[in-house]
Homo-oligomer: A and B are copies of this chain.
Amino acid sequence: MWQKLTLCTSLLLAATAPTRAETAPASTSPDWEAIFRALPQPANIKETMRRMSARPHHVGSPYDKDNAEWLRDRFKEFGWDAQIETFYVLFPTPKTRLLEMTSPSRFSAKLEEPAEAKDPTSRQKSEQLPSYNAYSIDGDVRGPLVYVNYGRQQDYEELEKQGISVRGAIVIARYGESWRGIKPKVAAEHGAIGCIIYSDPRDDGYAAGDVFPDGPMRNKDGVQRGSVADLPTYPGDPLTPGVGATKDAKRLDIKDAKTLTAIPVLPISYGDAQPLLAAMTGPLAPPSWRGGLPITYHLGSGPAQVHLKLAFNWDIKPIYDVIATIPGRAFPDQWVIRGNHHDAWVNGADDPLSGMSAMLEEARALGVLLKQGWQPQRTIVYTAWDGEEPGLLGSTEWVEQHGDELAQKAVIYINTDDSGRGFLDVAGSHTLEKFINAVARDVEDPEAKVSLWKRWQAHQIVTGTAEERREARSRPDLRIDALGSGSDFTPFLQHNGVASLAIGFSGEDQAGVYHSVYDDFYHYTHFSDTDFVYGRALAQTAGTAVIRMADAQLMPFEFTDIADTVQTYITQIKHMLEQKQDEARERNREVEDGLFVTTGDPRHPTTTPKAAAVPPALNFAPLDNVSTALADAAQRYARAADKARGQLSHDPAALLRVNARLMQSERELLDPKGLPKREWYRHLLYAPGYYTGYAVKTMPGVRESIEQKDYANVAAEVGKLAQALQREVDLINGAAQDLEAIK
């Protein structure tokens, strides 16, 4: 159904905006989308990456500002309005970094990524930020080491079973599975006094592939920098939650900032980690905890004592957001927003410039269209964010500063960040699932020479489960993932309710240089999208989406996919609860039958589990009911939209009303009071996990209340969510009614 509608929209691309009817017949207007898609050039994308990655360009660095000004000037050169908007944010940089083992032998961690002869920019020592975790507090701690695997809640449960406490200890966790900022947060909750995070070679090193510079993977000295602010509580400047960090904004004292860590944290390489882990004793780590170092992994605590000393310059630094616009001809107050960050931890070729360079090429191509006479119906806003790496600073401060305006004007936000080679990778609002599926059908994959959609579908069939295969073959649209956090869509989607998409390519190459000095032009041009053809495909995809949304007569939001998705989330949550009930009942039975005592190994005593309350039955009926209503409303809207095809210009006022509703459809899913424990996050369908980080928790209020055993709160969360979905139902029915009235 949507394919036909898309075709129709496409023919009407430059056609009548309801309030400003034009008379040119559809068949004679240029196919601006097709014209656009022929314009992006790999060579330009490559040159942008080369230029912007030529020097380190982290927040506060000279080249960060230089890049922002260069970007602004490019936009202007391409015919856009462009300016830099500056905010002032807390950005700590290291003053002291010391990690040493004091017993059973002495060892000082190197904490240094050496220059590689083959890799020119790895030599830019004077401008590189050293390896550290931003927003770790200062600290000077000594204690025994305990290995905590990925540092998740369940890892501490396993430690407790083994009789190991981290109280007073310095934990060493490996990167992966949970977002890095979760590791010190959970460690501190369990009484640890310091946290070391290392990249294990099994996850990110020689076990995963040849190491840099001979291959793409992390070598023994590579370190993953990164923010450890408590982003699942709120992103952005830690001192200005909820408001833009303008020069004279009211700021918290540093000591009152809720998102700084409670304990000092330092990331290290596996070269530095190996002597520490090798010196540990205590129980053998469980099989799934063992990494790829050539040692036996022990839990500790034992003779290995370490000293961790960290001090930071707690400076306020300027960040430079580049905001470029093409005003909409018909609807200047309806904004189609596209963004990517420009700051990096060091040279940042993959992260963020693979996405940024494609976006700038889109901007150039749109500029070419402008010169050929095209002007979008809606305003197009291209944004290049600064300060994403420390904590989505540039996007969050801008969204907070312009929140009221965005609430009125934002139609969509489309993000790209690091992107490589392979298969289309889309996550976002499910009201846009059909939209982005349609876009993917119109862009060619540069390797397979079929549409991106065809290759995406083939990938899902070849790698999927039986159920996934069935859906990939028969469902009208391929499923897109929900968004958690980890890039600049977060403030748009989760704070302001702007329907969002994140787009990239992945699946054919691996890389192990994330947030290291080796994420640079040399690496990207040897091990990733080396000829930038996927960069071009990314520009074609995102640009097509922008043009299509900016010029659509009826905004291509759609609701059968979100209705279906909501249904799957409800089912998942019910299953999760049932599983927890079954597990608790079974464990209690085993406890009562004394099975843990009977099977215990006296040479390796473990804590005997205790019987625990079985999760209660919970009332999901309000969700079931509203889910049915949502499916009905979605069907009604789809029928109405189908029927109104070709007649939309008969009633411009009605079309205006429908589009005004559609723009607001994601907003209905917000709760102005926010989620439990974190009011900044307002979206009731999607949030980053409070205890997992980037990865999404869908229906987070309900799901996390169950996961955190706060069963008493579930009814309230179910109620809030059901109300939000009911508002969505009402909005959809209202839009359908308006469409039904068009004759």
Identify the A interface with B (CB < 8 A). 201, 206-207, 209-211, 215, 217, 284, 290, 292-297, 422-423, 447-448, 450, 454-455, 458-459, 461-462, 469, 508, 586, 590, 593-604
Contact = CB atoms under 8 A, between A and B. Distances in A.
Given A211-B296, A508-B601, 12 more contacts: A206-B294, A206-B296, A207-B296, A209-B296, A292-B294, A422-B601, A447-B602, A448-B597, A448-B598, A448-B600, A454-B598, A458-B594
B210 A296 contact: yes
Most buried by B among A211, A469, A595: A595
A594 to B, nearest CB: 8
A599 B296 contact: no
A209 B284 contact: yes
Contacts of A603: 508
A590 B457 CA distance: 12
Contacts of A293: 294
Contact of A461 (B296, B595, B597): B595
Q: How many copies does the complex hold?
A: 2
A458 B586 CA distance: 13
A237 to B, nearest CB: 40
Contacts of A210: 284, 296
Given A448-B597, A598-B455, A602-B447, A294 B296 contact: no
Given A209-B284, A284-B209, A508-B601, A595 B462 contact: yes
B595 A458 contact: yes
11 contacts: A206-B294, A423-B599, A448-B600, A454-B598, A458-B594, A458-B595, A458-B598, A459-B599, A461-B593, A461-B595, A508-B603
Given A292-B294, A461-B590, A598 B450 contact: yes
Nearest to A274: B294
A204 to B, nearest CB: 13
B595 A206 contact: no
B294 A201 contact: yes
B458 A599 contact: yes
A564 B297 CA distance: 43
Contacts of A595: 458, 461-462
Contact of A206 (B217, B295, B599, B601): B295
A140 to B, nearest CB: 33
A207 B290 contact: yes
B294 A469 contact: no
A287 to B, nearest CB: 8
A448 B595 CA distance: 10
A462 B207 contact: no
A123 B408 CA distance: 84
A462 B296 contact: no
A254 to B, nearest CB: 42
A595 B461 CA distance: 8
- Residue in A294, A297, A450 with the greatest tally of chain B CB atoms within 10 Å: A294
Nearest to A298: B210
Contacts of A455: 598-599
Given A284-B209, A448-B597, A450-B598, A296 B215 contact: yes
Contacts of A461: 590, 593, 595
A590 B215 contact: no
A294 B454 CA distance: 39
Nearest to A594: B458
Nearest to A447: B602
Nearest to A423: B599
A727 to B, nearest CB: 41
Max count, chain B CB within 10 A of own CB: residue among A448, A459, A586:
A448
Contacts of A596: 462
Nearest to A290: B207
A450 B586 CA distance: 22
A294 B293 CA distance: 6
Contact of A590 (B462, B600, B602): B462
Contacts of A594: 458
A363 B599 CA distance: 30
A447 B292 CA distance: 35
